Amino acid sequence: MKFAKLSIAAIAVMGLSSSVMAFDLSSITVKPMAKVKLYYETVATDADGSDLFAQNGGTPAAGQPAHGLSVGGASGQALVSFGATGALTKCFGYGLEYTVVDTLGLENNLVSGVRMGNGYGSDRTALDTQHWASQAYITYTPCSSFLERTTFKIGRQYLDTPLAFTENWNIAPNSFDAAVIMNNDIVNTTLVAAYVGKGNGQFVKVTNGDKFTPYVKEGAYAVGAITSLLDGSIPISIWGYDVVNVAQAYWADAGYKAKLGGVGLNIGAQYGALMPDDDANSLVGAGAEDSSGFGVKVGTNIGLAGMNFGLMAAYSSVDDDGSLPLANTATNFKKTKLYTAGIYTDGTHVAQPGSDAFKVKASTKINGIGKLIVQYVHNENDTLAAPVLDVDEIDVILATSLPGGLGAKIIYMNRAYDQVNNDKVHNDADHVRIILSKKF
């Protein structure tokens, strides 16, 4: 059954128009924000004989497909974003952000590809500077006893919901043209309702710059409740979605903090389902089947050799018969909130119908160096037609600080996968990702 499509935008506009005020410039506050980022990644694969830190990838071996899994080489871009948040009056706030992405000419000697947008090698026309308004929103909280704990947020913004969210892993995040209502009248509970009209999400590259397109023809609706029980020891969130003419979806997750034999445990469980429309107006297609899946995790902290280690193990499973992945609808299912997701073994793998995955992770802070994370992800899928069946991924992540407050993240990834082509030839891919960033 579809959700009733009460226009959230209309409700928000009525609330905004009901407040008549004299605009006082002295009430305006400005909190500037700015960020710079340099993003570089190099890939080497057995399939094309490429080397790490080479500008261009090698040539795919005979029988090997020329897709992203087997093409090596390097890619990179730089980002600058700037803007401000603040108050216009006691009741109204705002947020503005402008983003600029450029290659800095790196394609001339260091890389052959870009992290967002299109264009490789000699196709210089697609390597031009990209710039767009990544955020532009107004917030409104009624200055009266009526709806005093309710906030309206209207305009271009970042979102974080289980099946439609902003991804931050690449050079630039995706954003949405949306209207959101948040209410906190219930103790320890946030109620959320949202209408999403457009987005610039793009598969793999995450954002398509200034190309904001409709979130399907009639948009998407979401409602959610985020709460906790027992003084916060049991966080719970429940979400429902209606992506018009595509699917209805549900998501629920819960956690529990407990002690077992003096050892603190952080336990989590999650479940999601997508029910594609199968009527004449469906954008999914006739014969689409429902998808559902779940994830569980357990984590703890232990002390060893004077250091504290965070440990986590997780398992997830998505049923075989579904038609849609349990992942981010805003980027064509690139990333997923399932606990088992790795850096590249993500929504494109662990969230796919028929996937069973497990993940183990260890993290620690090393004095004078930074935070170190090591994780292993294994995914099996006997039903996925292409391009990958079984995948093993090892990630080593170091997050540290450089002089001047410059943040640095250095990531090494190794993936071994079986391909459908060439009788499931086993190939290895090595990735090195370096991200330098600074927030002002």
Q: Are 247 and 324 in contact (CB under 8 A)?
A: yes
Q: Which domains does the chain have, with CATH numbers?
A: 8-439 (2.40.160.10)
Closest CA to 201 of 189, 209, 191: 209
Can you read off the two tokens belonging to residue 219? 């948009």
Query: Looking at residue 356, what is its pLDDT?
Result: 95
- 99 exposed, middle or buried (CB, 10 Å; 0-12, 13-18, 19+)? buried
pLDDT per position as a tens digit, 108-165: 788 888 888 754 433 444 566 889 999 999 999 998 877 889 999 999 999 999 999 9
**Span of 135-149, 205-219, 316-330, 339-353 with lowest mean pLDDT:** 205-219
Q: Inform me whether the pLDDT recorded for 386 exceeds 50.
A: no
Q: Is the confidence at residue 68, as pLDDT, over 80? A: no
At 229 the pLDDT is 86
Q: What percent of the chain is modeled with pLDDT above 70?
A: 82
CA–CA dist 81, 99 (Å, integer): 4
122 against 282, higher pLDDT: 282
Pairwise pLDDT comparison (308 vs 14), residue with the higher score: 308
User: Is residue 37 very low, low, confident or very high in pLDDT (cuts 50, 70, 90)?
Assistant: very high
**Per-residue pLDDT, 347:** 94
Enumerate the H helices of 224-270 as residue ranges.
none
Task: Determine contact, residues 280/299, Cβ cutoff 8 Å.
Answer: no
Evaluate if residue 387 carries a pLDDT over 70.
Answer: no
pLDDT of residue 125: 43
Least confident of 22-36, 112-126, 179-193: 112-126
Q: Which pLDDT does position 252 carry in this prediction?
A: 98
- Cα–Cα distance for residue pair 45/75, rounded to 1 Å: 15
Q: How many residues does the chain have?
A: 440
Residue 307 has what pLDDT? Answer: 85
Give the residue-averaged pLDDT of 102-112. 84
CA distance 136 to 133: 7
Residue 169 has pLDDT above 60, yes or no: yes
Q: What value does the mean pLDDT take over residues 399-426?
A: 80
The model carries a pTM of 0.88
When pLDDT is averaged across residues 165-179 and rounded to a whole number, the result is 96
Residue bearing tokens 């662990």: 350
Look at residue 19 and tell me whether its pLDDT is greater than 50: no
Q: Tell me what pLDDT residue 67 has.
A: 39
Q: Is the pLDDT of residue 384 over 80?
A: no
Query: Which range, 38-47, 101-110, 284-293, 364-373, has the best average confidence (pLDDT)?
Result: 364-373
Q: What share of the chain is helix, strand, coil (3-state, %, to 5)?
A: 5, 55, 40
- 6 pLDDT more than 80: no
Q: Over range 255-278, report the average pLDDT.
A: 89
Nearest 5°: phi and psi at 29? -120, 150
Q: Which of 172-186, 241-255, 260-274 has the highest mean pLDDT?
A: 172-186
